[in-house]
């Protein structure tokens, strides 16, 4: 008679359940933060329909406190603060998305070229990226905006992307360097597939996930950079920016605290949503994070197996590692 197959170890089941629960937790963070950001975007871009007040028009007495007619009150010139916050949200979303697309697009293209070609091209592009990363982003943006005759959202996007592409370049270059040594890609190249087709069909899907995470982080940095530039007075001339509202609120914070708290709260909510989305995407798209979490947790909970049994830590993909742990009574004291 053939022996019956052994039942799976309890630690194997615990590790699998732990990795699945960690992945679901990451997915819940992605969905929750995505819903918050989607609701904010819907409010920003549909504001002219449900709150048709010109953010530059004087509609109330200066420094009016929040009331039923104006839920967020008015600023020092009598302009509606809710309309200005919504206009600032539209500007932040446009600058964040535009900077992410431009910086990540340029960085991904140059990183792919450097990682795939190597040699002199790689060395030259790495030095250019080092120079771009050496400049403080806000300082270089201030220089570009100072040279520009009329700062606008487009010039802010270009100025912020001028240094933001370096991080995407380094990320994609490292990924492509690792991918070009894989045996399946070498086989595809030997089969006669052209380089553009190989990069589009085999390399691009592998780097899409990390690029999505990098784009989210870049967008968050761009929104904060735009607010910093507007706070210093180098933002778009419309003045309806969260940074410009913060500048006005700081001067009047003692007598009218809502002028400072409301723009700061809007900026914090938007940044928290973007960073939570980026963190959740990173954990959800990279299964190694779940595997590491399962291994660490089981190592803490199962330092000694029952009766000297081997404790196996199983992660994603079914890989296991085990070590025999003697019973407590057989351990030697030093």
What share of residues in the chain are helix, strand, coil (percent, to 5)? 70, 5, 25
Please tell me the distance from the alpha carbon of residue 240 to that of residue 219, in angstroms, as a whole number. Answer: 19
Is pLDDT at 1 greater than 60 in this prediction?
Answer: no
d(CA 153, CA 237): 9
* pLDDT above 50 for 320: no
- Helix or strand (DSSP H, E) at 161: helix 153-179
Cα 278 → chain centroid: 4
Q: How far is CA 223 from the centre of its chain?
A: 12
Band of residue 27 on the pLDDT scale cut at 50, 70, 90: confident
What's the pLDDT score for residue 291? 47
pLDDT exceeds 70 at position 40: yes
Task: Find the range with the poorest average confidence among 13-22, 70-79, 148-157, 183-192.
Answer: 13-22
pLDDT, tens digit, 9 for 90 and up, residues 86-113: 999 999 999 999 999 999 999 999 999 9
How many residues can be counted in the chain?
334
Q: How confident is the model at residue 329 (pLDDT cuts 50, 70, 90)?
A: very low
Q: What domains can you pick out in the chain, each with its CATH number? A: 89-288 (1.10.3720.10)
Mean pLDDT (the chain, rounded): 82
pLDDT at residue 4, rounded to an integer: 54
Q: Is the pLDDT of residue 242 over 90?
A: yes
pLDDT tens-digit map of 255-308: 899 999 999 999 999 999 999 999 999 988 875 554 444 444 444 555 444 444
Residue 233, pLDDT score: 85
Q: Which is higher by pLDDT, 22 or 278?
A: 278
Q: How confident is the model at residue 313 (pLDDT cuts 50, 70, 90)?
A: very low
What percentage of the chain reaches a pLDDT higher than 70? 79
Burial class (CB in 10 A: 0-12, 13-18, 19+), 334: exposed
Of the pLDDT bands very low, low, confident and very high (cuts 50, 70, 90), residue 182 is confident
User: pLDDT > 90: what percent of the chain?
Assistant: 50
Mean pLDDT value of segment 103-125? 94
The secondary structure of residue 306, as a DSSP letter, is: G
3-state SS, 200-215, equals HHHHHHHHHHHHHHHH
What average pLDDT does this structure show over 230-257?
88
Instruction: Report the C-alpha gap between 120 and 114 in whole angstroms.
Output: 9
Q: Is the pLDDT of residue 309 over 80?
A: no
* pLDDT over 50 at 315, yes or no: no
In this structure, of 119-128, 235-244, 268-277, the range with the lowest mean pLDDT score is 235-244
Q: How far apart are CA 270 and CA 252, in angstroms?
A: 24
Once rounded to an integer, what is the mean pLDDT over residues 197-225?
A: 93
Is 161's pLDDT higher than 60? yes
How far apart are alpha carbons 159 and 225 in whole angstroms?
10
């Amino acid at each position: 008679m053939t022996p019956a197959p052994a039942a799976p170890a309890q630690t194997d089941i615990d590790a699998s359940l732990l990795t699945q629960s960690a992945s679901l937790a990451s997915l819940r963070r992605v969905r929750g933060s995505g819903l918050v950001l989607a609701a904010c975007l819907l409010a920003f871009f549909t504001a002219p329909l449900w709150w048709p007040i010109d953010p530059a028009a004087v509609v109330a007495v200066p420094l009016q406190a929040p009331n039923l007619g104006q839920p967020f009150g008015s600023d020092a010139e009598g302009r509606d603060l809710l309309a200005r916050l919504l206009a600032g949200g539209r500007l932040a979303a446009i600058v964040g998305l535009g900077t992410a697309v431009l910086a990540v697009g340029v960085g991904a293209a140059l990183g792919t070229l450097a990682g795939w070609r190597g040699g002199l091209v790689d060395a030259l592009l790495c030095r250019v990226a080092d120079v771009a990363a050496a400049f403080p982003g806000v300082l270089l943006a201030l220089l570009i905006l100072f040279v520009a005759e009329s700062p606008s959202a487009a010039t802010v996007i270009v100025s912020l992307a001028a240094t933001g592409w370096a991080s995407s370049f380094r990320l994609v270059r490292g990924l492509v360097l690792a991918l070009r040594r894989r045996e399946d890609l070498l086989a595809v190249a030997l089969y006669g597939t052209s380089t553009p087709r190989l990069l589009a069909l085999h390399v691009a899907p592998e780097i899409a996930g990390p690029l999505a995470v990098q784009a989210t982080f870049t967008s968050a940095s761009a929104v904060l950079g735009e607010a910093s530039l507007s706070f210093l007075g180098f933002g778009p001339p419309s003045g309806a920016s969260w940074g410009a509202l913060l500048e006005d609120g700081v001067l009047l914070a003692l007598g009218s605290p809502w002028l400072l708290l409301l723009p700061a709260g809007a900026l914090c909510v938007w940044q928290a949503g973007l960073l939570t989305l980026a963190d959740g995407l990173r954990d959800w798209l990279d299964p190694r994070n779940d595997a590491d979490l399962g291994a660490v947790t089981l190592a803490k909970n199962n330092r000694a197996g029952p009766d000297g049994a081997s404790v196996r830590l199983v992660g994603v993909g079914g890989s296991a590692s085990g070590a025999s742990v003697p019973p407590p009574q057989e351990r030697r004291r030093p």
